[in-house]
Amino acid sequence: MLSAPLLSGYMLLWISFAVLTALVLLALLSPLRTRVRDEDAGRASFDLAVYRDQLSELERDQKAGLIPDSEADAARNEVSRRILAAQSELASKEEVARPVPAWLSVATVIAVPAIALGGYMMIGRPDLPSLPLQARIDAAVANQDMAAMVRQVEKHLEQKPNDARGWAVLAPAYKRIGRLNDAANAYRKALALSGPDPDLMTDMGESLVLANNGLVSNEAQEVFEAVRKAAPKHMKARFYLALALQQEGKTADALAGWNAMLAESSPDAPWRSAVEQQISSAGGQLPKGPALTEEQIQQGQQMSATDRTAMIRSMVEGLDERLAADGSDIDGWLRLIRARMVLGDKEKATDALNRASEALKNDQQAVTQLEEARKALGL
């Protein structure tokens, strides 16, 4: 991101490592070089210190009348016996300071940096600088980074959550970076603050559809319905309403909707081609877009209608075979089920769904998704 400071940061990092290692070596080796005072107390003297304290404690307790005299005397006898035993041991001193073996210092100087560096290189990432969020946002704003700008607007909205315009700006940005649920929620906020607006409502519905892998959910359908009531001429809403009809299996109604749109629009309307494509696919029992990747659709658009059907059928069969071999791809299954449905083959769709449930029965999230698909498609 920022190449010049990164380089110096990298060097600084290695300098810090070197300093840290040097400090560690210094701390570990210096006690070996200091003189240990030979007149240090012998082992038994530590016991004696404790025993003498116990005697004085007895004295205190007895004076305060906390323990009866007989008990105090017995205890004093016992402690005194221990003192005598300790004093006899006092003469023998076990420990001496010997010269440090040379190999120890050498081994330490070699092994500490070697193990530390070796261990660090195995798990560390010296190439990565730290990335505090604030610094990233500052840098990203300078670089026009979408994700960071989104964060910036979010921050603004945390301060002023009632800024309808802010939400209206944030929503399409979310949509662009693929946070489709957040986009729908942001549209919802904007709508709640600014009141109904057909464009915003349609965009919100569209986000919901995209977030749902191209399926028009009940919620989205309600939004589009509301738009149609308020603005009967709103083409985008009508487009999605027709799509919803098609997905429910009411292909004829869907075609009627799209045809009506074509009849009402001027020949150079920008969305004409999209509608025409839907009509041709639905009318010729052709599959629709969201079931396949965009690349495949673009390929498909350049072919004749029959070629396209054939291509799509072969792709669907290929997908089916792949999933039969390896059933762990939930997205693949969902695509297959939808494609079967759109091709009008309910039996095969049900079959695919059952096979998917069998293959993914241990994956709870997948089971849930399949269950949703089952409901949405009415299988």
Partner 1 sequence: MAMTRKQQRGALIGAGLGALGLAAGLILYALSDTITFFYTPTDVVEKGVQPGTRFRLGGLVADGSIVRGQGKTVSFTVTDTAGTMPVTYVGILPDLFREGQGVIAEGVLDAGGSFRADTVLAKHDENYMPREVADALKEKGVWQQSDKPAKEGTQ
Partner 2 sequence: MTPEIGQFALVLAFVTAIYQFAVPMYGAWRGDSRLMAVAPPAALLQFGLIALSFGCLTWSYITSDFSVENVVRNSHSDKPLIYKISGVWGNHEGSMLLWVMVLALFGSAVAAFGRNLPPSLKARVISVQGSISIAFLSFILLTSNPFNRLDPAPIEGQGLNPILQDPALAIHPPLLYCGYVGLSIAFSFAIAALIEGKVDAAWARWVRPWTLAAWMFLTSGIILGSWWAYYELGWGGWWFWDPVENASFMPWLIATALLHSAIVVEKRNALKVWTILLAILAFSLSLVGTFLVRSGVLTSVHAFAVDPARGVYVLGILCVFIGGALTLYAWRAPTIKTGGLFAPISREGALVVNNLLLTAACAAVFIGTLYPLVLESITGAKISVGPPYFNLTFGPLILPLLLLVPVGPMMSWKRADMWAAIQRLWAAAVVALVVAVAAMAWQWRGPWLAPLGAALGAWLIAASVQEMLNRAKFASVPFAVALARLKGLPGAAWGMMIAHAGVGVMVIGIVGITSWKQEIVTVLKPGETQEIGGRTVTFIGENPVTGPNYTADRTRFRISSGGVEVSEIWSEKRIFKPSNQPTTEVGIEPFLDGDLYVVAGDRAADNGRTVRFYFHPLVWMIWLGAALMFLGGCCSIFDRRYRVGAPKKAKIPVTQPAE
Binding-residue pattern over the window 19 to 48 for partner 2, x denoting contact by CB under 8 A: -xx--x--xx-xxx-x-x--xxx-x-xxxx
Nearest of 241, 3, 301 to residue 127 by alpha carbon: 3
Question: Which one of partner 2, partner 1, none is in contact with 361 (Cβ closer than 5 to 8 A by kind)?
Answer: partner 1
Q: Residue 152 Cβ, how far from partner 2 at the closest point, in Å? A: 11
Stretch that binds partner 2, among 51-59, 254-262, 337-345, 354-362 (CB under 8 A): 51-59
Stretch that binds partner 2, among 150-158, 162-170, 226-234, 319-327 (CB under 8 A): 150-158
Binding-residue pattern over the window 154 to 183 for partner 2, x denoting contact by CB under 8 A: ----x-------------------------
| 76 forms part of the interface with partner 2 (CB under 8 A) | yes
Q: Both tokens of residue 164?
A: 């309808």
With respect to partner 1, which residue has the nearer C-beta, 27 or 131?
Answer: 131
Residue pair 251/258 in contact by the 8 Å Cβ criterion: no
DSSP 289: G
| 304 forms part of the interface with partner 2 (CB under 8 A) | no
Quick one: 367 exposed, middle or buried, by C-beta within 10 A (0-12, 13-18, 19+)? middle
Please count the residues of this chain forming the interface with partner 2, following the rule CB under 8 A.
82
Select from 2, 7, 59, 84 the one that contacts partner 2 (CB under 8 A).
84
Can you tell me the distance from the alpha carbon of 163 to that of 156, in angstroms, rounded to the nearest whole number?
A: 9
Block residue for tokens 């045809």:
259
Question: Which one of partner 2, partner 1, none is in contact with 62 (Cβ closer than 5 to 8 A by kind)?
Answer: none
Stretch that binds partner 2, among 68-76, 270-278, 301-309, 321-329 (CB under 8 A): 68-76
Can you tell me the distance from the alpha carbon of 255 to that of 247, in angstroms, rounded to the nearest whole number?
A: 12
Q: Both tokens of residue 261?
A: 């749109």
| 15 forms part of the interface with partner 2 (CB under 8 A) | no
Q: What is the dihedral of CA 167, 171, 177, 179, to 10 degrees?
A: 100
CB 229: neighbour CB atoms within 10 A? 11
Q: Both tokens of residue 277?
A: 């494509």
With respect to partner 1, which residue has the nearer C-beta, 219 or 371?
Answer: 371
| 97 forms part of the interface with partner 2 (CB under 8 A) | yes
| 269 forms part of the interface with partner 2 (CB under 8 A) | no
Nearest of 230, 211, 229 to residue 220 by alpha carbon: 211
With respect to partner 2, which residue has the nearer C-beta, 66 or 303?
Answer: 66
Can you tell me the distance from the alpha carbon of 208 to that of 210, in angstroms, rounded to the nearest whole number?
A: 5
Which residues contact partner 1 by CB under 8 A?
361, 364-365, 367-368, 371
